[in-house]
Amino acid sequence: MRLPTLAFALAALFALPAAAQTYKSPEALLQALYSYDTSETSANAPSLYSPFFSDQLNARYQEDADNTQAGDGGTIDFDPVISGQDGQATNVEVGEAIVIDDTAEVEVTFKNFEPVTLYYTLVREHGGWKVDDIANQQGEYPWSLSALFDGAR
């Protein structure tokens, strides 16, 4: 009788969405983020990357969506994970995390038409690591998600 129970438990485990996954290290989270197929995200999610974002960051995306007129773009009108509207991240290098208590800072470099360096702020919540902010300090228009959302208020 244990075999059907075990088979059911294993089937349920493999059917869990990415949102149910926890990442025990900041580096594991970011490697998974850059390997993620965004078509797996629920249509009701506030962001394509909601399974990887902190509760706070998902709430900011949801608040922005709730306050955006139908047919208009939201405050974040680009893909922050690739720092652009088009392309893809290639040659991704995840730096070593600097961890202080339940927060971490990690530098990620990759190529998307040109070299890009992003700075991630992560938080530990729900038993694993989640993205709490992303920043690009290079180029003519440096940005961070938190600053963009703050400026939209």
The domain in which residue 112 lies consists of: 23-39+46-152
| pLDDT of 3 above 80 | no
pLDDT tens track for 92-101? 999 999 999 9
With respect to residue 99, please indicate whether it lies within any of the assigned structural domains: yes
What average pLDDT does the segment 22-32 reach?
A: 96
What average pLDDT does the segment 12-40 reach?
A: 77
Task: Look up the CATH number of the domain holding residue 30.
Answer: 3.10.450.50
Label residue 98 exposed, middle or buried (CB < 10 Å: 0-12, 13-18, 19+): exposed
With respect to residue 12, please indicate whether it lies within any of the assigned structural domains: no
pLDDT tens track for 80-118? 999 999 999 999 999 999 999 999 999 999 999 999 999
- Could you tell me which residues come within 8 angstroms of residue 64 by beta carbon, excluding any fewer than 6 positions away? 74, 75, 76, 149, 152
pLDDT tens track for 36-68? 998 888 888 899 999 999 999 999 999 999 998
Q: How confident is the model at residue 144 (pLDDT cuts 50, 70, 90)?
A: very high
pLDDT mean across residues, the chain: 87
With respect to residue 7, please indicate whether it lies within any of the assigned structural domains: no
